[in-house]
Structure 1
Amino acid sequence: MARKFKGIYRYIAGEFLFSFFVAFLFFFFIFFVNQILLIAEEILSKNINLFSVLKLLFYSLPAIVSFAFPFGALVGALMAIGRLSSDNEVLAFQACGIPYSRLLLPIAVLGLVFSFGSFVINDIFLPLGQIKFSQLYREILYSNPELELSPYSIKRYQSSTIITGAINENGINDLVIIDKTPEKNRRLILADTASLNKLEEQNGVISLELDSVFIQTFDKQKKNDFNYLSSELMTYNILLRDISFAMSSPGPREMSSRDVKTEIDKKREVLNQKKDANFQKADRAGYNLNTEYIYQLSRPVQQRSLEFLSSHNKDYTAKINKTISDRSLQGYLVEYYKKFSLPFACFVFVMFAFPVGLFTKRSGRSVGFAVGLLVAVSYWGMLFAGQTFGIQNNASAGIAMWMPDIVIAVAATVAAAIRFRR
């Protein structure tokens, strides 16, 4: 009996692995072409040498594989089960007394193996690839500073922000620069057009020649005061080390799950300290409000006293209702849970594919491929929506990132209940 099941396991696993390989190559090709188009738009158009471009593509492979793996498992499982079902092989297994659980076992085991492999890629190779990609990009940037200038973009550096409009042969249109003066006053620079000034002696610097310039400086000491001036021409320099500094700090995507967890703990500690400080301020404001209220009870009612009391009340209300949050902490939490939810999707997908694939009556692989694409697009949309919602709305990052897996798992349970009830 054990030998009979071993042969069945090998047969079903082989069918699944073949379909997975085909589906994986399909998604890998889709994501790889997308990456080529992105690099072609940003880098190839700036005449960067081909070897550097190939290295950038190589460092992008872990990010591509991290998505191709779970989607390949989904479509591969649907194609394999659909083919077995449409060719009545599942029915033949049932006629031989082989239960569904025996047919599911090799697929479930491979799903767990794929989940583990996907986790290793996400937790080790993806951060390493992102770090290498950033390092090489900085090297390319030093030799080709114009790479940093792209149309309709916002670039944030160590002490400035540059917003560009359309870019054509005449230069950059509608350029906006927000930075600080040596006195740390906020400064706004507007230019109708700007062009890149390449000079050999300016290594490590992006030099911009601005035309029709308007500058407005805000005094941080006197908030209602500002200075402005206009000029026909202006030269503005950006140090490439500022760009390098902005790119050098690794984000959660460039970290392992352990490093991300450590950073989350640090950010939570800082956030709790801010909350405690705000609570103490609110407590003092409440004490001042009560003290002033008791003091005013012993005095005749005056308009000035009421205004003073109202001011204390507004101060207390503002502090007690103030929301203390850290958006960067939300970003780290989202990426942390994503490092687990996306690999685990491999197992969830194959558990979903088994009962759904059994509904297929004809053209098993074609139907499985079509259904798999539909589910993959839906999962991608839910994952993107969860990531956006988790960061922007300060919602639970865990729920936001695990919700796509939960939805697929619920759909798998419903499909299994309907199919196995027959």
Structure 2
Amino acid sequence: MPAIARPLQKMPWQLRVSLLDRYILREMIRPFVFGFGVFTAIAAVIGTVFYLIRNMVEHNLGILSALQVFFLRLPTFAVLGIPMAMLFGSLLAYSQLSRRSELIAWKSCGVSPLRLVRPALLAGFCALLFTFALNELVAPPMAYRAIQTLEAAIQRPQPSFQTNNIFYRRFAEGQLRQLFFAHRFDGKVMGEVTVVNFEQGQLQEIITAKEAEWQGRAWLFRQGTYHRLRRDRDYDVAETFSERRFAYPRTPLELALETRAPEFMTSREIYHYLQILAESGDAKRLRQWRVQLQEKLSLPFLCLSFALVGAVLGISSPRQGQGRAFGLSVAIIFGYYFGAFIFTAFGEGGAVSPILASWLPKVIVGAIALGMLYHANRH
């Protein structure tokens, strides 16, 4: 019987739990760190290194700038690596305990598999909190800074706003109320603006202007024409103006200013942007961003599901070495992401709801792990 098992029988219950938890957690640290390094490195190579090498060849990107971009992008790949490392760490740790017959010894002392997986769940919960914080506070701003650094280094800076063809539709009570279009935008002033207003489905106003600028509470249109139509589509009012204010929503400006991808935004920023998109009536884009928001919120919970899967597999499967554990982890991860990709496509296409598309794969993994744990606990 292992040395750890003998004193466990003589200690109080609470102390026995603490020692057991700490012992198993200590066994998980080394494979977790190894898996975190390997999986993060793989994600970084696939996601950034090849792209940086191509820019170094095609656009003379300097090695120092490439390294800066690489390290700025690392938190994004670390977010992906933590759940994978939890799977590998728990699987290998419990397999090693099984190989040394320690799991058998603890089971003979009355310790159930349900009790044995508790340290893995504790580690998974801690990883969940860390992943959520990293994905919200660190990864988005650093990833956005990486893109800006890259564009500046290759002398191809991209503006932080949409420069051409700003188009906005506003709906109210299921009816189209306004079309807003601007040919160009310099970050402050929109040029060649056309606004078409509707009332109860009927065309009501047409405003064209050489430029338009947001003035805090309303739009200031300059050098334009104003047309108001009657129900018979004939002009009721037609006039020109040098300057005129219109109390239209600020939404077209907000849409033009926000050009970042979801990975460069926090969930709070995505939620705010969704409120803007909801007014525009762009159903396809709205679905895509809702799926991305749910993906960002649900990803940390994968740490908990993978930790449980690894622990149960380590307890119930044959004894495995590091190579087999790594191979099994890769197979599970590939299967999960393949299924998650399909659900994401369904969510963005409107076949299923964004919440279902993002959360169901994690729930399925957790449900499978719970079923395996129930089976192991009965035998």
Q: Does 1:14 align with 2:13?
A: no
Is the Cα contact below 8 Å between 1:75 and 1:368 reproduced in 2? yes
**In 2: Cα distance, 1:24 partner to 1:377 partner:** 16
Q: Please list the CA deviations of residues 300-349 of structure 1 after superposition, one character each: whole Å capped at 9, or x if unmatched.
A: xxxxxxxxxxxxxxxxxxxxxxxxx5222112211111112111100011
Instruction: Report the Cα offset of residue 4 of structure 1.
Output: 2.7
**In 2: Cα distance, 1:43 partner to 1:247 partner:** 30
Per the alignment, do residues 389 and 158 of structure 1 end up closer, same or farther by CA in structure 2, a change over 3 Å counting? farther
**What pairs up with 1:62-73 in 2 under 5 angstroms?**
62-73=75-86
Per the alignment, do residues 338 and 350 of structure 1 end up closer, same or farther by CA in structure 2, a change over 3 Å counting? same
Amino acid at match of 1:355: V
Q: Please list the CA deviations of residues 154-191 of structure 1 after superposition, one character each: whole Å capped at 9, or x if unmatched.
A: xxx7448xxxxxxxxxxxxxxxxxxx99999xxxxxxx
Amino acid at match of 1:249: T
Task: Report the 3-state secondary structure (helix = DSSP H, G, I; strand = E; otherwise coil) of the residue aligned with 2:117.
Answer: helix
Q: Does 1:387 align with 2:341?
A: no
TM-score, normalised by the number of residues in structure 1 = 0.61
**What pairs up with 1:225-374 in 2 under 5 angstroms?**
249-271=259-281, 325-374=282-331
Instruction: Identify the range of structure 1 (398-407 vs 131-140) with the bigger mean alpha-carbon deviation.
Output: 131-140
More strand by share: 2
Q: Which residue of 2 aligns with 1:56?
A: 69
Per the alignment, do residues 256 and 386 of structure 1 end up closer, same or farther by CA in structure 2, a change over 3 Å counting? same
From the CA coordinates, give the structure whose radius of gyration is larger: 1
Is the Cα contact below 8 Å between 1:327 and 1:394 reproduced in 2? no
Amino acid at match of 2:269: D
Instruction: Identify the range of structure 1 (386-395 vs 78-87) with the bigger mean alpha-carbon deviation.
Output: 386-395
Q: Does 1:85 align with 2:106?
A: no
Instruction: Report the Cα offset of residue 418 of structure 1.
Output: 2.4
**In 2: Cα distance, 1:11 partner to 1:45 partner:** 52
Of residues 313, 326, 333 in structure 2, which corresponds to 1:376? 333
**In 2: Cα distance, 1:400 partner to 1:408 partner:** 14
Paired-residue identity, %: 23
Q: Which residue of 1 aligns with 2:115?
A: 102
Of residues 59, 71, 83 in structure 2, which corresponds to 1:46? 59
Q: Give runs of ≥4 in structure 1 deviating > 6 Å.
A: 180-184, 245-248
Instruction: Report the Cα offset of residue 95 of structure 1.
Output: 1.4
Of residues 108, 118, 125 in structure 1, which corresponds to 2:138? 125
Corresponding residue pairs, total: 280
Is the Cα contact below 8 Å between 1:119 and 1:343 reproduced in 2? yes
Instruction: Report the Cα offset of residue 364 of structure 1.
Output: 4.3
Is the Cα contact below 8 Å between 1:79 and 1:366 reproduced in 2? no
More helix by share: 1
**In 2: Cα distance, 1:16 partner to 1:375 partner:** 19
Amino acid at match of 2:332: V
**What pairs up with 1:185-200 in 2 under 5 angstroms?**
none
**In 2: Cα distance, 1:380 partner to 1:350 partner:** 16
Is the Cα contact below 8 Å between 1:134 and 1:247 reproduced in 2? no
**In 1: Cα distance, 2:192 partner to 2:140 partner:** 39
Instruction: Report the Cα offset of residue 247 of structure 1.
Output: 9.8
Is the Cα contact below 8 Å between 1:85 and 1:359 reproduced in 2? no
Q: Which residue of 1 aligns with 2:177?
A: none
Per the alignment, do residues 31 and 13 of structure 1 end up closer, same or farther by CA in structure 2, a change over 3 Å counting? same
* C-alpha RMSD of matched pairs (Å): 2.8
Q: Does 1:413 align with 2:377?
A: no
Task: Report the 3-state secondary structure (helix = DSSP H, G, I; strand = E; otherwise coil) of the residue aligned with 2:317.
Answer: coil
Amino acid at match of 1:392: G
Of residues 39, 44, 51 in structure 2, which corresponds to 1:32? 44
Task: Report the 3-state secondary structure (helix = DSSP H, G, I; strand = E; otherwise coil) of the residue aligned with 1:48.
Answer: coil
Is the Cα contact below 8 Å between 1:268 and 1:329 reproduced in 2? yes
Instruction: Report the Cα offset of residue 97 of structure 1.
Output: 2.3
Q: Please list the CA deviations of residues 130-151 of structure 1 after superposition, one character each: whole Å capped at 9, or x if unmatched.
A: 220222133124x258x9xxxx
Is the Cα contact below 8 Å between 2:55 and 2:61 reproduced in 1? no
Per the alignment, do residues 122 and 77 of structure 1 end up closer, same or farther by CA in structure 2, a change over 3 Å counting? same
Amino acid at match of 1:20: F
Amino acid at match of 1:383: A
Task: Report the 3-state secondary structure (helix = DSSP H, G, I; strand = E; otherwise coil) of the residue aligned with 1:358.
Answer: helix
Is the Cα contact below 8 Å between 2:117 and 2:312 reproduced in 1? no
Instruction: Report the Cα offset of residue 252 of structure 1.
Output: 2.3
Task: Report the 3-state secondary structure (helix = DSSP H, G, I; strand = E; otherwise coil) of the residue aligned with 2:352.
Answer: coil
Is the Cα contact below 8 Å between 2:40 and 2:78 reproduced in 1? yes
- Structure 1: runs of 5 or more not aligned: 148-156, 161-179, 185-244, 272-324
Is the Cα contact below 8 Å between 1:252 and 1:332 reproduced in 2? yes
**In 2: Cα distance, 1:248 partner to 1:42 partner:** 26
Task: Report the 3-state secondary structure (helix = DSSP H, G, I; strand = E; otherwise coil) of the residue aligned with 2:299.
Answer: helix
Q: Please list the CA deviations of residues 17-45 of structure 1 after superposition, one character each: whole Å capped at 9, or x if unmatched.
A: 11111111110121122221121123444
Q: Does 1:5 align with 2:5?
A: no
